[in-house]
A and B are shown apart, each in its own frame.
Chain A
Amino acid sequence: MKIRDLINRASMWLGDGPEDIIVSSRVRLARNVRGEMFPGKAEEADRIALWKRLNAILCALPGMESALSCEMSELTWSERHVLKERHLISVDQCEKGKGSGVVISSDEGVSVMVNEEDHLRIQSTFPGLNLDEAWSRSEAVECALEQRLEYAFSKKLGYLTACPSNVGTGLRAGVMLHLPGLSLLNELEQVVKGLTRIGFAVRGLLGEGTEASGNMFQVSNQTTLGENEQAIIDNLSDVVDELVEHEKNARLRLVEQRPFALKDCIGRSYGILQHARMLSSAEMLDLLSSLRLGLEVGVVRNLSAATICELMVLTQPGHMQIIADRELSPEDRDVMRADTARDRLKKVSLSL
């Protein structure tokens, strides 16, 4: 499989459309190989040797026969950004070079980063609320690897990770939510503060250190030690259920109490998407968020949620450069983004 094969399909991380509020679910397990220095401290030669060893093991695992495997130094700027935009690698891994890499199952259901912050970051992502499946898929890879290598593990502290904020289960479970209702009512800040207080992290679209674009938020567990995997996943599920209720309630209040504010936001976004000649990546995500909201409250016609998901993926910088098959300046990208939006959305209509 090649990176080019990925770009024309929906990204697990950005969802596939049918779900309203919950976009996708992800589980990530951090593991290290016993007796090896962590990637941040290891010499380049050792990292390269370990990448070769782990890559060979990973590619031979059941279900990984036609996996996509690449060392970061082999990839072009566009290729690594495609992987980042699809959340198959992290922002940090995108910047790495020799001795770091990723192995991705052909259905993109599971990807394993090698030599990121830890030797192994096994992650599985599914559209909608699907934490259990994401957990069993990543755990299956983790168990299969365990037959072939020994993890750094302590009976008291569990799986040992480079940063002690991941020690124990090494498990980070996250759900990405689309929360335009709470955002329009300016209630997000309060919600985020509340979540942080009860031990959950809230991040933007691409994970740690990224801005929230398009009203997309990832909610994940903050702690990894002191409770088991199922408890971590169950707690997150409960919180997500509550958030979904809050968002539904916010949308209801918008429809009933502030219909013009709601319709104005959707109408303006529609107008810009139909007529703009240049759109930045962040602006595009915000506009698509409003359109998606419009679709879900029933004022946008002739549009499928899948088209919105597709546009979100296709108009990211890495994807556009691969499609154009050349290097694009930021201005070229803004033009191409606006062209793509006008083309895909030309049949859309509003009933405000």
Chain B
Amino acid sequence: MLCEWCGEYEANVHITHVINNARREVHICDGCAGKSGIHIQGPMSLTEILMGLGGPEMDPAAEDKRCVFCGLTLGEFRKTSMFGCAVCYNTFGAELNRVLPEFQKGTVHLGKAPGYGDASDADPQIQELKRLLENAVSAENYEEAARLRDQISEKRAAEESARKRQK
């Protein structure tokens, strides 16, 4: 059997992995395995995990699923493990979600966020208020700025308590 990736050399690395109860086998040559960081008996590499994207009977049309912004296809992503743009995360979100837990500790960001370091500031409404606040400050319209500042704090507090309730 020839290598599924390069089609040139004999496939002598055979990988079987099971994702969401779906089995997928990959048969590749030593060279391709080495190049993509696959080491036999080692932990699964990202490329291996992504090769499993979509399960064993993946619809060939799914391979051609294309990002509207940069034109990257799912097939290309599986080969390189690289997205072409930030929009790819939406385009291929469902596929990525399925494999994320295999190479990340969780599926939700818990670190810092742009703004004041509070994840709630990623909220588009707060972002918009912050933009208005900046405009008000640079126009020296301090009354308006104070009103916006209070509105931002209120929104943040509301989000915070909503988050606590969820927990």
A residues apposed to B, CB below 8 Å: 32, 34-38, 40-41, 117, 139, 146, 150-160, 162-165, 167-169, 171, 196-197, 199, 209, 222-229
Query: Is there a chain A Cβ closer than 8 Å to B19's Cβ?
Result: no
Q: Mark B111-132, 1 if CB is under 8 A from A, else 0.
A: 1111000010011000000000
Q: Taking the nearest CB of chain A, how far is it from the CB of B52, in angstroms?
A: 14
Q: In the complex, what residues of B have CB within 8 A of residue A40's CB? A: 80, 82, 84
Whether the Cβ atoms of B109 and A155 lie closer than 8 Å is yes
Give residues 96-119 of B contacting A (CB, 8 Å).
96, 100, 103-114, 119
Q: What does the 1/0 interface line of B62-92 toward A look like (CB < 8 Å)? A: 0000000111100000001111111001000
Residue B42 lies at the interface, judged by CB distance under 8 Å to chain A = yes
Other A-B contacts than A158-B111, A165-B104, A225-B105, 4 sampled, CB-CB below 8 A, are A32-B86, A152-B86, A164-B83, A199-B105
Are B72 and A41 interface neighbours, CB within 8 A? yes
Find chain A residues with CB under 8 A from B42 CB: 196
Kindly list the 6 A-B residue pairs having the minimum CB-CB distance in the complex, ordered from nearest. Answer: A226-B106, A158-B109, A226-B105, A41-B84, A152-B86, A169-B111
> How many chain B residues touch A (Cβ–Cβ < 8 Å)?
33
| Interface membership of B43, Cβ < 8 A | yes
Contact of B82 among A35, A150, A162, A197 (CB under 8 A): A162
Instruction: Given A38-B83, A41-B70, decide whether A146 and B114 contact each other with a Cβ distance below 8 A.
Output: yes
Contact B109 A165 (CB under 8 A): no
Question: B26 an interface residue at 8 Å Cβ cutoff?
Answer: no
Chain A residues with Cβ under 8 A from B46's Cβ?
Answer: 163-165
Set A32, A139, A164: member contacting B81, Cβ < 8 A: A164
Summed over the interface, the residue pairs from A and B with CB atoms below 8 Å come to a total of 112
Q: Contact: A37 with B112, CB < 8 Å?
A: no
A38 touches B110 (CB 8 A): no
CA distance A163 to B110 in the complex (A): 18
B114 touches A227 (CB 8 A): no
Complex contact A227–B83 (CB within 8 A): no
Provide the residues of chain A in CB contact with B80, threshold 8 Å.
40
**Which residues on the B side are within 8 Å of A223 (C-beta)?**
103-105
Nearest B residue to A158, CB-CB: B109
Interface of chain B residues 112 through 160 with chain A (CB within 8 A): 112-114, 119, 122-123
Residues in chain A near residue B100, CB distance under 8 A? 164, 225
Contact, CB under 8 Å: B122 / A227: no
- Contact present for B122 and A197 (CB under 8 Å): no
A155 proximity list for chain B (CB < 8 A): 109, 113, 119, 122-123
Q: How far is the CB of A119 from chain B (nearest CB, A)?
A: 10
